Structure formats: structure tokens, C-alpha cells
Amino acid sequence: MPDLSALLQPRTIAVIGASTQPDKVGGMPVRLLSELGYAGRIVPVHATASEVQGLAAVPTLDALDVPADLAIVALPVSASLDAMRQLARNGTRAAVFFTSGFAETGGNGIALQAELAALAQAHGITLLGPNCLGAMNLRERVFATFSPIPLGGLPPVGEVGLVSQSGAFGAYAFALAREAQLGLSHWVTTGNEAGLHVADVIEWLARDDATRVILAYLEGCRDGTRLRRALAAARAAGKPVVVTKVGTTEAGARSAQSHTASLAGEDAVYQAVFDEYGVFRADTLEEFFRLGYVLSRGRRPARWQPSAKEPANAVTPVALVTVSGGVGIMMADQAEALDLPLPPMPEGPAAALRSAIPFASTANPIDVTGQVVAQPEVLLDAIAAAAQSPDYGSVVAFRAGGVGSPRIWPGLQDTVDTLYRSGTAAPLLFSGLADDDKRRWLEARGALAFREPAHAVHAVAVLARAAAQAAAAAAPIPAAAAAGSLPVPDVPPGTTALSEFEAMQWLAACGIPTAPHGLARDADEAVRIADTIGYPVAIKLCSPDILHKSDVGGVVLNVADAQAARAAFAQVQAAAASHGTPARFDGALVAGMVRGWGELMVGVRRDPVFGLVALAGIGGTAVEIFRQTAFGLAPLSHARARTMLRASRAEALLSGHRGHPAIDAGAVAEVLVRVSQAAAALGPRLDTLELNPLIVTARGVVAADAVVTLHAEAPDRHTNRPTEETTR
């Protein structure tokens, strides 16, 4: 695991290329560190000046008496390698290179960056950048950046760690955090990522005591293994991660590539990675910060339950208390969309409310009506009753313009304090207009306040999920069964594809249900096999030279009897011979025609960034038209496989579709798990494994066709050498 302590908690900081002019790139860090209260030692390094901005300077790092923890390097690109060698001689532990002109310029810059990274690695120097905006530790007042943005004021010190590949995004995010008074622990921009990646920073923040929530901005990821390790660390630490991953559309990905040349990857695969590790994804800046606010300030519900629509997700029953029926309906719409249960008010408090306001609605939303203007205590009583009821995991109250009105505010304060002192009340969330002071009073108690009612309801869902994830982090992870636990037959080295017969044999040996089948070398054998299986059968050419066998007449379906089987065998044999260059003929696959009422497709393929990815969906025309394929990292957990069946709507074919018998979706999910395990067991050799169709029958799913392609040799593991792709 990368150690960022020298970068983020340095006691001595050298500024190489320090400028006497505080607003220059080399002057700004000296200015920020001096003016904003950094308590450690600042050592400006300046070729000629003996003093820089009032601090004693040294001419080179060689003149420094101790090793620096951190060196900030603000030199032209031509002086960078020399600077790195100085750092090595000094024993510096970490370096921030602001310098641009490296891989982002292409050509020679790529080689230069590779050399810089190699030097850093050889001397054990943690490298941030080059071409980055630097880093900050708010608590310890470390400002290793040339951005002037901290001069405009600092956000409060808090528990949100923010990491951004982009410097400009990072600076804007800092300004927004300051404006929203979102408490930050650390702020890091990674730039060209010759050394530290966004993933490394996430992993370090996951172990940092000062950080409870991690916000990350990604354009692309070149090392899926590192990102997965980082997200796993955050999950294990029970720290929610909010990610904005841009380049989700074609235009965005195109400009992400031109901008950073990051390997954009397929967005659905990123989503599968995020789902695997419980990452909260935000599509807009507004959502990015809102999630940071909710997760760092909000109380998590003490109870939650699996979502009815999506059991892998956790939800909590919520009481919606409102003074406006209309806004109540808006909130109910949102709660239903998020699958939050809305149990009615318990009978006791409901009766009390009705006796106070006869026209109040005690269903959920609980509508105390505009009558609250005359009887404000009724609203408070309803909130208190809901918060104390075991029926609810959270309470959202909409109070229109009056969250902070003088008629209700003192009572509301009492209610919040009393409830929270009890220790057992459900978390409270408010929406409506309130001035900043009152909002902050609520927030200080963990009672969130929103202007937008739908955001308050969304926050309930976010906090329920975070609570469930934190609890799961404490428990041992129900990992996907180790791939090794499945007896997977060997595939001989050098193989690049299995014939359909070999693929079916191999799948069957892996415990995956396949149509009954055999390989016939001659017509007699074809009839024998077909007689054993029972008619009708399919007869298909087996030749290592012919990929698209149906194009050459190599497939005959619905073969009804022995005579037809002989004719079909002759036909596929002739097809091999009549192929442009005569093809090898290994025989014919004879397989039972499986009858069912639907087709699934299941596959595993290698993603260049994240490795093996499983996909599943409804096969046939539907998958082409509706494109609802679901993804998951292979090997799959059982829960993930269930989620994929649900997300792709494949489950609809299993649950009594059109009067067909319902079949066990858990057993089908288990088939997906096995397919993914079998693929994973082949390791880096596997290229593609596809079962299409996987026919849905009353006795479960059965593979009727299979494709397996392999690399003759395992491809190189991803290495971290800089290439053109590392520019940004």
C-alpha cells in the first residue's frame, strides 16, 4: 500500500524553484504555507536568493541538513530530472511535481516522465504528478499547491477526503466545499499519475483516521487492480466512497481520451466495479457534493432491510411528515422510486393526530395540513411520534417556509434535542426554507436540512445504504467462492479456441447444464448418439478451421429421425469439404434440441482495465433491441448474479412467464456463478466465454451453444510504466 504520510503529514517541506514573488507558481506554496499557518519547517530552495518571502533559503537541496519529508518541485521540465536526483541524494520521502511538459505533450515528454517515475521508484520517493495542482491537508495546514484558491478562505476541517485526477475540477470542488461549508480532511489532485493514482489516494484515505467519507473524481482508470484494491479497502473500513466518473457517453469518452488519453473503458464495466464495492456514483457536481454532505453529516438509521425490488440494496422505512399534501405526494413518488417503504402511522399517534386535526391524513405521507399554522405543536408531536416508533427507520419532515419560523423554531429545537438525547430516535431530515444559522444548528446534531424535498428523501436512501454497508464491513465479507473451489478441467496450453463440442464437454465437466450431446465421426455414430439422446436433434459441423459454421451450411436443426440424421451428417461433412480451402473435419456435434420458453445469454469477457467481466441478459431479438445486459466482476457472488438476472429482466422469464412454471432463480444464478468461476479458473488465458442461448426450461436453464476463445499465452499483467495513455 502506498504511504502518503510524508506527502500529507510532512514536518519539513522543501520548495524547489521557490520564488520571491508570492503569486508565481514557485512562490504560491511558500506564501500559502507561511500565511495559512503550517507549523512545520519550510525550506525554500533558490539558486541565488538567501531569503525567500522572509524565510531562509538554501541554494540546492544538498545544502539541507536533514532529509525533507516532502519536496514541492516548481521547476521547468528541463530541470526536473536533476531535481529528482537532488531529492534522492537528500533522502526526501515524497515529491509533488507541478511541472507540465511531460506525457501530456506526447513525444519526448512520455520518455521523460517514464524516467522521472523510474527515479522516484528506485529511491522510494512517493511521487504526486507531474502536471498536477498538488495536495492539501486541511487539519495540519499543509498547502502543497500553487492554486491561489485557499487564499479566498478555507472550508472547515472535517471528515471528507477529496481526490481528483483533474486539477481544475479539484480547485472548483474546493471552492464549492468552502461555499457549502463541507468539512474537508485532505485534498489531492493526481495529474499525470506517474506515481500516485487516484486509487492510491483512495486507499490511503480509507486508512486515514481523519477521513470518514471519500469523494473521488475520475476520468479514467489505467490500473483496475489498484482501483479495486482501493475500493475494497474503503469498503472494509466502512467508509463510503462517492465517485464522479466522467466520459459516460460517447462524446464525453472521446473528449476524455483527447484530454487525458486515459483508457476510458466501458461505462457499464465501471458501473459493475462501483456496484461490487458499494460506491455511490454522482453524475453532477451538485450530486457529488450533496452526497458528501449527506454521508459526512447525516445520521445513519439503526435499522434497514433489503429492498423489495433490489435485495442487494438496503432501504429503511420512512415517515414522511408534511404540511402540504402536494409536497407529500412528491416525496412519496421519490420514496417509491427509491423503494423506501412507507408504513402508515401507528394507531396511537394516528388517533392523537386525528383528534387534534380531524382532516389530517395519518397514512404516509402524514399530512398535518395547513392547520399547523394555528397548531404548530401538532407537527412536532407527529415528528416525535414517528421518530420514536419502531416502524420507521427515518423521518423526513417538510415544513415549507417555516422550518425556522419563530412560532415553531424553539419547539423544534426542543423536539430535536429531546429525541436525539433519547439515543433511540430515528434520524430526522428536514426540508423547507431555513436560514443558514438554523440549518447549521440542525446539521450540528446530524439532522440534515434541504431545500428540495426530493433530496431529503434521497438522503434517507443513501444513509440506509451506508448503514448497511458499514455493518457488512464489520462482518466478514461473503466473498465469491474462490475460483479454485470448482474443479475445472484443464485446457491444453496453446489452445486459442475450443470447438463447440469441446466447449460443451468442458462446460458439462464444470457442472454447467448443457444439452445432451456427443461427437460423431461418421453417420452411423451420429445415428447412435441421436438414438440415445432422442429426437429431434441438432447436427453441427466441428472444424477448427470454420468459425461461422451456419454460413457454410454446417448446421442442421430439428433432425427428426435416423434417416434425417444420416442426411444431416452428410451435409455438414460436405460443407467442410466445399469450404474455400478445404477445412479439417473433426466430426459432427449431435445435440438434443432443448425446448423452452425463452433464451438467456451469459458470457464472460476480458476487460482491458478490470479483467474478467461477466454479463447476462435475455437472449435473442430482445437483447439486441432493448440492450439490457447486466455486468458483474467475475467470479460472481451469488447475490450479484441474482442482481444481474433482475437488472437485465431475465428474471421475468423465470417467474411464471406467460403461464409457464416458475423456476428457481437461485439455481439459475448459481449457473451464472459457475460460468464465471469456470472462466476465472482459466485465469489470464481466457478471452471470451459465451453461452447463447441458455434455454429456459421447466427444469432450469440449459446451454445449447457455447463459444470459448483463449489467448495462446497469458497476456502481460498490467504494468505501471508510463505510456502515451498516462498523459493528462
From 170-178, 410-418, 492-500, 525-533, span contacting its own copies (CB under 8 A): 170-178
Q: How many CB atoms lie within 10 A of CB 561?
A: 13
Alpha carbons 310 and 651: distance in angstroms, whole number: 12
When the beta carbons of 227 and 526 are compared against its own copies, the nearer one is 227
Alpha carbons 519 and 539: distance in angstroms, whole number: 10
When the beta carbons of 177 and 426 are compared against its own copies, the nearer one is 177
Shortest distance (Å) from residue 334 CB to its own copies: 8
- For 39, phi and psi rounded to 5 degrees? -95, -10
When the beta carbons of 77 and 583 are compared against its own copies, the nearer one is 77
- C-alpha cell read off for 13: 517541506
CB 517 within 8 A of CB 591: yes
Site for its own copies in 146-165 (CB under 8 A): 149, 152, 164-165
Contact residue for its own copies among 196, 335, 464, 530 (CB under 8 A)? 335
Alpha carbons 403 and 429: distance in angstroms, whole number: 11
Contact residue for its own copies among 363, 497, 593, 707 (CB under 8 A)? 363
When the beta carbons of 336 and 664 are compared against its own copies, the nearer one is 336
Which of 704, 504, 693 has the alpha carbon at shortest distance from 599? 693
Shortest distance (Å) from residue 301 CB to its own copies: 19
- C-alpha cell read off for 89: 541524494
Site for its own copies in 609-628 (CB under 8 A): 618, 621-622, 624-626, 628
| DSSP reduced 3-state for 363 | coil
When the beta carbons of 318 and 675 are compared against its own copies, the nearer one is 318
Mask for 554-593, x = binds its own copies (CB under 8 A) = ----------------------------------------
When the beta carbons of 104 and 203 are compared against its own copies, the nearer one is 104
DSSP 54: T
Shortest distance (Å) from residue 137 CB to its own copies: 21
Q: How many CB atoms lie within 10 A of CB 228?
A: 18
Q: Tell me the DSSP string of 16-39.
A: ET--SSTTSTTTHHHHHHHHTT--
Shortest distance (Å) from residue 442 CB to its own copies: 18
When the beta carbons of 347 and 624 are compared against its own copies, the nearer one is 624
Alpha carbons 696 and 616: distance in angstroms, whole number: 13
Mask for 628-647, x = binds its own copies (CB under 8 A) = x-------------------
Alpha carbons 653 and 623: distance in angstroms, whole number: 13
- C-alpha cell read off for 179: 461555499
When the beta carbons of 17 and 278 are compared against its own copies, the nearer one is 17
Alpha carbons 107 and 96: distance in angstroms, whole number: 23
When the beta carbons of 85 and 627 are compared against its own copies, the nearer one is 627
Q: Length of the chain, please?
A: 728
361 contacts its own copies (rule: CB under 8 A) = yes
Which residue(s) pair with 701 in the sheet? 696
HEC assignment per residue over 190-251 = CCCCCCCCHHHHHHHHHHCCCCCEEEEEECCCCCHHHHHHHHHHHHHCCCCEEEEECCCCHH
| DSSP reduced 3-state for 626 | helix
Shortest distance (Å) from residue 340 CB to its own copies: 9
Site for its own copies in 228-267 (CB under 8 A): 244, 246-252, 254-256, 258-260
How many positions of this chain bind its own copies (CB under 8 A)?
A: 81
Pairing of the two strands 706-710 and 537-542: unpaired
Site for its own copies in 387-416 (CB under 8 A): 400-401
Contact residue for its own copies among 62, 85, 311, 359 (CB under 8 A)? 359
Site for its own copies in 313-332 (CB under 8 A): 323-330, 332
When the beta carbons of 42 and 246 are compared against its own copies, the nearer one is 246
When the beta carbons of 267 and 531 are compared against its own copies, the nearer one is 267
Residues 6+ apart with CB under 8 A from 276: 228, 231, 632, 633, 640
Site for its own copies in 439-498 (CB under 8 A): 451-455
When the beta carbons of 328 and 587 are compared against its own copies, the nearer one is 328
Contact residue for its own copies among 26, 432, 592, 632 (CB under 8 A)? 432
When the beta carbons of 518 and 598 are compared against its own copies, the nearer one is 598
When the beta carbons of 104 and 502 are compared against its own copies, the nearer one is 104
Site for its own copies in 23-82 (CB under 8 A): none
Site for its own copies in 80-139 (CB under 8 A): 100, 104-105, 133
Shortest distance (Å) from residue 338 CB to its own copies: 10
What value, to the nearest 5°, has the Cα angle with vertex 467 and ends 466 and 470? 85
- H or E, element range at 14: strand 12-16
CB 142 within 8 A of CB 131: no
Shortest distance (Å) from residue 664 CB to its own copies: 19
Which of 278, 191, 208, 197 has the alpha carbon at shortest distance from 242? 278
Sequence-ordered strand ranges (E) for 323-370: 366-367
Q: How many CB atoms lie within 10 A of CB 103?
A: 31
Shortest distance (Å) from residue 451 CB to its own copies: 8
Site for its own copies in 653-682 (CB under 8 A): 653, 657-658
Site for its own copies in 191-220 (CB under 8 A): 217, 219
Contact residue for its own copies among 130, 365, 603, 693 (CB under 8 A)? 365
Alpha carbons 604 and 633: distance in angstroms, whole number: 9
From 198-206, 357-365, 547-555, 585-593, span contacting its own copies (CB under 8 A): 357-365
Which of 356, 322, 534 has the alpha carbon at shortest distance from 429? 322
Site for its own copies in 264-293 (CB under 8 A): 283-286
Shortest distance (Å) from residue 700 CB to its own copies: 19
Shortest distance (Å) from residue 317 CB to its own copies: 12
- C-alpha cell read off for 66: 536533514
DSSP 427: P
Alpha carbons 628 and 637: distance in angstroms, whole number: 20
Shortest distance (Å) from residue 360 CB to its own copies: 11
